[in-house]
Structure 1
């Protein structure tokens, strides 16, 4: 516990973490929406689709590990 932390310090950390989460979610949406569209239209080959899906899964996995790390620290 940070005994020397005041409310302003907490607010700064809170908003930085909130912005970081929103940035990650935004990037996920920016990637997923066009990917789904181009995949449905047939513009993406099977090989490229698998590679892009792997990249998307890696990004999602990183988000999951971050969530897991925060959750485990709260117990």
Structure 2
């Protein structure tokens, strides 16, 4: 147990050990921000594809409706 206390004191309480720990902790938010940015880009691409497909479907449905007026059209 005394060896562990000495190790902890040397590794984590010293100035250099503290700097290293603070550096690692400060890197975490940046890493999370990068991951969120990647997920956002992927979602944007998925939404863009879905929007494009539904827009194409609406245009095609509109064209079909114009070509086939239906059984209740009087001429």
TM-score, normalization by structure 1 = 0.46
Which structure exhibits the higher relative contact order, with contacts defined as CA atoms closer than 8 Å and separated by 6 or more residues?
1
TM-score, normalization by structure 2 = 0.46
Q: Which has the larger radius of gyration?
A: 2
